[in-house]
Every structure is written in structure tokens, then in C-alpha cells.
Structure 1
């Protein structure tokens, strides 16, 4: 049996074999058993607010079209013509009642129904009586509090059951506004020369924060004269089903209700009012978690929701073992004041944006890991053991509990597939 994860609870040791970052056979199994069968984030409901609104999406290696049809239902269609396979919709976003294929001019309503085609006399009268020539819809589309997920496996468990304990942390984000969240315009798209699982780890890894992003934290220290030292303190939690989270305090401002001295006094008064309203609605403890604690959430396999100095959702898909395509979304509470939105966007660009303090450093770190995996034959294992000695219920946010949650689920899925393949051989 091929061993990809090795866990020794007595020694407090958790190891991951480095072949999972470089092996093409492993990637093929991941595509078949993970990306074809797990719930994958496609976008937020507010991206298509009006009837006819659509967005092109690439999810799980598929070209998809997320559209709000004329019946006000959000649908996800495979963006391929049933005739000869061309992309039906070539624009990245827009509003349309009908999609027309460029190649042979077959036309489809925005719910996917074929409505016209040139040379109709060359086809039988009942040509599409069973709907087989309509644009095909993805088998499963479900939503949790505005977050939309697709699943290409018709037998998959419900999204609610799949998210499980992670819903508590999504709720903490959405409850920042009584009106919920909205996606802000545009997306970030970039590539990293690294394996997709390295970005999963990095996105909920507070251990690297201080050494890798030292310049940023030095600036935060200088901006707040009352800050005696920069603290990143909290806990890491395994949420089951491969999900995990770190929840912690940090020195940056949060537009929802944590003021920072770089913002003016008017913003401070607004933030105090927001905090008071949260306390009245949710009580002191939950209001404090919503306002003053940060969250980096792993939703297995490839969604990271960061509720830190801004709210982001990031997904990624491997085109090869050492190359990923990344898409990043920015979200914010509906009804937020313009001054808060400006502070939020400045926060986002300063740290999380493509030219911010975090993203370039993180990408460099991941690419350095990938480059060094040429040594795999001689140095075989990564160590993901930090915090095991404290017990899984008591680990710190700078430990690796949340990563072990991901790797245990990954190992269960992959090992089952590898064992099956060995039997068939």
C-alpha cells in the first residue's frame, strides 16, 4: 500500500509524503476522486443580482456559466454547445435573455433551453422533444447563506451536511450585517508555480505570519503607538470533513468593529455604534467574536474564506502538479457606509491584494517549496506536527491542527482510491 500520510499519535508526529506535490498520477486521482466528487465553490449569489445576469466561471476544470434566468432562479450551465461543442458564451459577464453560439448560431434561452437554429428544415420535427439538445445543467447546485457550490456527483451528500461544523464560522462572517454579504466588483486571477495543497496550508497558517510578513507587522507596530507588541493569538480547530479554521486576534483594523489609529475619529464613532448593535443582537460574547476576532477558514478541498482585515474567498485549481490557477473574490457587508468600504478596500489591497504585503511573499514561499521538491527521493516527508503535543482540543492558532484536518480527509479519499486501483491491477 502506498503511504501518503503517516500519523503517530504516541510520538506526536504527523507526516505528509512529498510525492503528493509532484506526482502526475496523484493529480489524476485528485481530479477523479476530489474535484469530481466534492462540493466546489462557484461564486456568491450577489454576483448575478438581476434576471439575465451571468458570469463565466472555471470550476473543477470545467467551463461553466452561472446565470440568473428569467424565472429568477440561479442556474449553472456547462458552457458548451450541444451541437459541436463550442463555447456558447464568450463574454466573461453581462446580461442576456438569449445566448447565441458563434459557430453555427444555435440560440438558447438563459435557462439553457434551445430556442432556434438555422436550417431547421434539416432536422426532424421532434429534434429536441426530450430536451437533449438544451445546454446541460450541472447536476448539483446548492447555496449556504449566499455562498454557491456545485457538485458534479449526483450521489453526493447535501451541501449543509458537507459543510457541517464550518457553518458556524461562515455564520460569524455573514452576520456582520443584518442584510448579509455582497460580492464586490471584479475578481483577482493569477497563477502560482506550486501545488494546490501548498496554498491550502498557507492560507490557514499563522505560524508563518510573523517571519514571512515581518515588514507588514513592523508597519502595524509603528502605526499604533499604544501597541506594545504585535500579537497573533487564538486557536486552531479541526472542523471535520477536511475543513478547518484558525480564529485569532491581530493588530490590524477591521471595518466591521475594530478601530485602528490610522483611521479618523468619525470612523471610530461609527465602529463603536456597530459594535453596540452587534452586542444588542447577539450578546457580548458572539459580538466580540464577530467584531474583534479574525478567521481563516479551509473548506475542503479548495475554498479559503478569510475574514481578517477584509473578507475574501479564494479558490484554486491545478493545471499540473506544480502549477495552479487562483481566483480571488472580495466580499463585504451589504449596506456598509462608503467610508467603511474605502477602509476595507484599502486594507484588502495593502495586505491581500496582488501587490500587497502578503500575496507576493506567500507565492514566493510556495514556489520555493515546489522547487525544493526535486529532492523528494532523498528527503521524503513534510512535517505537519506542530501543536499535537498539546492535544487537538487545545492547539494554538499558530499550530497546525487545521491543516491536519485537511490532510486526514485527503488521505481517506486518496488512500481509498489508491487501494482500489491496486486491487484492480
Structure 2
């Protein structure tokens, strides 16, 4: 059986075969062993504030409706009419008591129950008494601190068990406000001509930060962000289950709650008030960690929470072995002032947005990697060994990527017994 991930701890070597980024057959196994069996982020509870609210989502290759019913319960329904399969909802978002199929006008309430159909007399009196013609509901739906996940495997472990040590880092985000966090407006959507796993790696890769994003760091320095050897320092941690995090200091301002001179004295006052609230609630040590430290968190397989100069939630799904679609959301405190909301949005768009300093650079790097993999017959392996010689890898080492690949290997080769690959 061919091995695609090799780890030699004695030699401090970790290698990934480049075939995993280009082989369509491997992607088909990933769809079965990863995207059909792991917990996948579908949305944040704040996206559905009112009864009747819905969002259309595509998760794990499925068309889904993320809804809040008239009873206040959040559900996820398969967006497919039980009659002949057409989408029952074509709008991306809205508020509705009923979803009506365009094709034959079967109608369903926002709980998914069939409530109307033309030509009812052509069906038996007991038609749908068993509920089999209702919209099918995703059976595994669980949430943690406002983050909502689905799982298509009825035998999967609970979400809390799945998240494991990653829960601590989600809580560092969720605890930034007394009144909760909220998604801002519509997501940003774009595509990258590269394999999805390259973005999983890149999102927790601090090693590329300075060489790839030097222009941004130069701009931060002009605004009073102190760029020194003490900044961009931290650790990379394998959290288990394929999850990983880099936690580090950095020179940019954070709306919660790290001031930079460019924000002026008024901004400093508001930051101090926020910091005081955090200290009163959590104590000095945790407040300092929430406010002054940055985190790039990877939840296996494809959820990234970047709590840096702003907070982004990013998911990405493969369309083919060399093409992915990406969705990015901004997350913020519900109670922050209009001024700081603007600063947060500016920070988000400037670095993390599709037209910012980071994302186009990253996408270019990933696409260059994908092109380089055309040489895979002669140059077979990627090296992901940096930091294996340290007891505690640094944030600009590669332990966090190794965490991802260890879990990928376990699911794809050890559990799947190498089927078809």
C-alpha cells in the first residue's frame, strides 16, 4: 500500500507526496472519508436572528438550508424537493414561513413539513402520514459557543468531543463580548486554482508571513505598529483530531483590545475600557491573552478562525483536485462602537479580504504551488519538517501543518485502508 505521508521523528523529517494535491481519485476518497464523516462548519447563530430567517449554504458538496423555524429552533434541511429533486429555495437568504418548489409547487414550512401540493386528490388519503415527503433534515446538528456544525455521519462522535482541545481557542474568541459575537453582512466568496489542502496549510503557516506579506508589515510600521524581534513570536500547537493553532504577538492593532497610535487618544480610551471589562470578567492573565495575542486556528478539515487584526471565519471546499471555492465571514462584538466597527472592517478588508494585502498574495502562492506540482514525477515530496528538532515548535515552524496531515493520513490511509489510493 502506497504511503503519502511519511514521518521520521529520529531524523526530524516529515514529507507529503505531491500526488495528494493533483489526483482526482484521491479527492473522491476525501469526499467519502473526510467531508462525509467530519464535523463541518455551516454558520454562526447570529446569522439567523429572527424566526423565519434562512441562509442557503453549500457544505460538504450538499445544498442545504440553514434556517430558524417559527418555533425558534435552528435546523438544517436538504435543499431538494422530495418529489422530483429540484431546489425548493433559490434565494441565498431571506425570511419566510414557506419554501415553495418552482417545478411542481410543492410547499414546505420552515420546519421542513410538506404543507401544500397541487392535485392533492391524485394521491392516497394517507400520503405523507409518515413524514417521508417532508424536506429531509440533516440528522447531526450541534453548536459550540454560537458556531454551528453539521455531520453527515450518524455514527460520528459528538461535536464537543470532536473539537477537543480546540474549544479553548474558540472560547477566546467567543469571550470577547459580554453580549455575544455576530457575523457582519454577507460573506465574501472567491475561488482559487489550487488544491483545498494548500489553503488549510497556508492559513496556519506563519513561516511565509514576512517574505510574502512584507508590504503589509511596512504599512503597519508607519501607523505606529511596533515591528521588532519581540513581535511575531509565539508557538505552534497540535491540538489533536487534526486541529491546530498558532498563537503569537504581532505589531497591528486589535479592536479587542490592543491600541496603536494611529487610533488616537479617543481610540485609546475605548480600548482601555474594553480591557478593563475583560480584566474584571476573566482576570489579568486571560484578559491579556484575549486582547494582546493573535490566533490562527484550524479546525479539521476546512474551518479557519483567524483572530488577528480582525476576526475572519473561512471555509473552503474542493470542486476538483486543482480548484476550490472559498467563503469568508467577518465576526465582531455585538456591542462595539460604530467607530471601532469601522476600524475592524478596515483591518479586515485591508489584510484578509479578497482584495487585501494578504489574500491575493496567498492565492498567488498556492496557484504557483499547484503549477509546480506538474513536476511531481521527478520531484515527488513536499518537506514539512521545520521545527521538528524543537521540544516546543514556534509559530513560524510547521507543527500545525503536520497536525493536519497526521489526521488526514489516519482517515485516508489507516481508516480507509488505502482504498483506491
Does the 8 Å CA contact 1:24/1:321 hold for their aligned counterparts? yes
Question: TM-score, normalised on structure 1?
Answer: 0.97
Q: Give the corresponding residue for 1:342.
A: 342
Q: How many residues align?
A: 421
- Post-superposition shift, 1:418? 4.8
Gaps of 5+ in 1: none
Partner of 2:173: 173
Residues 227, 414 of structure 1: CA spacing in aligned structure 2 closer, same or farther, 3 A cutoff? closer
Gaps of 5+ in 2: none
Indicate the residue corresponding to 1:111 in structure 2: 111
Equivalent residues in 2 for 1:222-241 (5 A)? 222-224=222-224, 227=227, 231-241=231-241
Whether the aligned pair in 1 keeps the contact of 2:15 and 2:383 (CA below 8 Å) is yes
Residues 242 and 405 of structure 2 are in contact (CA less than 8 Å); yes or no, is this contact kept in structure 1? Answer: yes
Q: Which residue of 2 aligns with 1:139?
A: 139
| Partner Cα separation in structure 1 for residue 180 and residue 238 of structure 2 | 26
* 1:272-331 alpha-carbon deviations (Å, 9 max, x no partner): 111122112111111111000000000000000000011111001001000001011111
* Aligned residue in 1 for 2:414: 416
Q: Which residue of 2 aligns with 1:407?
A: 405
Identify the residue that residue 17 of structure 2 maps to in structure 1: 17
Deviation at 1:231, TM superposition (A): 2.5
Query: Aligned to 1:162, what secondary structure does the other structure show?
Result: helix
Confirm or deny: 8 A CA contact 2:225 2:252 kept in the other structure: no
Query: What residue is the counterpart of 2:379 in the other structure?
Result: 379
State the Cα deviation string for residues 260-281 of structure 1 (Å, max 9, x = none): 1221210111101111221121
3-state SS of the aligned residue for 2:166? helix
Would you identify which runs of 4 or more consecutive aligned residues in structure 1 move more than 2 Å? 225-231, 416-422
Instruction: Encode CA deviations 1:51-109: one digit per residue, 9 max, x unaligned.
Output: 00000000000000000001100000000000000000010000000110000000000
- 2: CA distance, partners of 1:286 / 1:418: 41
Distance in structure 1 (CA, Å) of the matches to 2:419 and 2:396: 37
Q: Give the secondary structure class of the aligned counterpart of 1:184.
A: strand
CA distance in 1, matches of 2:49, 2:191: 29
Measure the CA separation in 1 of the matches of 2:65 and 2:419.
Answer: 34
Contact 1:192–1:367 (8 Å) recurs in 2: yes
Deviates most, 413-422 or 3-12: 413-422
- Bigger mean CA deviation after superposition, 323-332 or 274-283: 274-283
Aligned-partner SS, 1:264: helix
Please tell me whether the aligned partners of residues 99 and 109 of structure 1 are also in contact (alpha carbons under 8 angstroms).
yes
SS at match of 1:207: coil
Q: 1:225 to 1:137 in 2, by over 3 A?
A: closer
Pair 1:190–1:230, CA change in 2 (3 A): farther
> Pairwise CA RMSD of aligned residues?
1.3
Q: Aligned partners of 1:225, 1:203: CA distance in 2, in Å? A: 22
Between 1:225-234 and 1:132-141, the stretch displaced more is 225-234
TM-score when normalising by structure 2: 0.98
CA-CA distance at 1:419 after TM superposition: 2.2
Distance 1:278 1:328 in 2: 27
The equivalent of 1:96 in structure 2 is 96
Shift in alpha-carbon separation, 1:289–1:130, aligned structure 2, 3 A: same
